[in-house]
Amino acid sequence: MDLKQRLGILGAGRLGEAIARTWLARTGDRPLVWSRSGPRRRNETRGAAWVTNWSGTLEAESLVIAIPGRPLLDLVEGSSQARQFKGNVFSAAAALSRTSLRRVFPQATIVCFSPFLIDGVNSIPMLLLRPNDLSLAQWLQAKTELQNLGDFDVIEDEKVFEQIALLGASWPTVVLAAVQTAANVGVARLQDENARRIGRRIFFRAINALLSQGTCHEVATPGGITERGLSSLPLVVNLFENVFQQMQAHAAELRV
């Protein structure tokens, strides 16, 4: 009987824990987990098998990288165990290029993925980068394993992958901060705290309704109040373009 664990996970932060929990729930298989600060007491990783040395995760058939790019290279660079590893390496480290991964895991099947964590859901939707240097058999085997975590979309161009990956978590976080700022602008001239609270509640209820309808044009009566506001949107578009470009530039600076 083959007792080899199927999944090893480097890192037990938000992502590492989510992957460990989802993998265990969906496969019944205990992942091997390593984290710099040792075993967590939190429920999420209770079912995992902890290893004391990072290289212990290489005992598994596939390895998930759930720590940032630079620390991963500091940890693994020069390791003969990493060089000999022939399983799958699934990297979620946004800053890690395939070139660096190939250098430290020259014999592994490397697939970069971008997970989108959603609270309370027993799956992790993902974006996968399909490399052009894998055989069809390697690709099919790797994606079958990743399918255990959730559904995915596939992109074949690394630059396009990097840009779309920003749309999963980073960009929505910035947009939410902007929406909260907009709520504050809307209530800024209200002196009464209760009125401010009601104003914010009504604003977010309307935002929710518009998001679920998927459009805001129905409420824009031609010549009406909303129409005048929408006519100023190009200013906001320029601002958002600038913010997104800065995020892309910073992601490129972090690449290792």
Ligand X SMILES: NC(=O)c1ccc[n+]([C@@H]2O[C@H](COP(=O)([O-])OP(=O)(O)OC[C@H]3O[C@@H](n4cnc5c(N)ncnc54)[C@H](OP(=O)(O)O)[C@@H]3O)[C@@H](O)[C@H]2O)c1
> Which residues contact ligand X by CB under 6 A?
11-16, 35-37, 66-68, 71, 92-94, 114-115, 117, 169
The tokens of 89 are what? 């390496």
Nearer to ligand X, 161 or 199 (CB): 161
Which residue number places its CB atom closest to ligand X? 13
Query: Of 57, 43, 80, nearest to 6 (Cα)?
Result: 57
**Closest approach of ligand X to the CB of residue 64, in Å:** 9
Nearer to ligand X, 16 or 131 (CB): 16
Nearer to ligand X, 93 or 199 (CB): 93
Nearer to ligand X, 63 or 67 (CB): 67
**Closest approach of ligand X to the CB of residue 117, in Å:** 4
Nearer to ligand X, 2 or 151 (CB): 151
SS3 state of residue 104: helix
Q: How far apart are CA 163 and CA 158, in angstroms?
A: 9
Strands of the sheet with 7-10, listed across from one edge: 49-50, 32-34, 7-10, 62-65, 88-91, 109-115, 126-129, 152-155
**Closest approach of ligand X to the CB of residue 75, in Å:** 6
- Exposed / middle / buried, residue 44 (Cβ in 10 Å: 0-12, 13-18, 19+): middle
**Closest approach of ligand X to the CB of residue 66, in Å:** 5
**Closest approach of ligand X to the CB of residue 82, in Å:** 15
The tokens of 196 are what? 């401010």
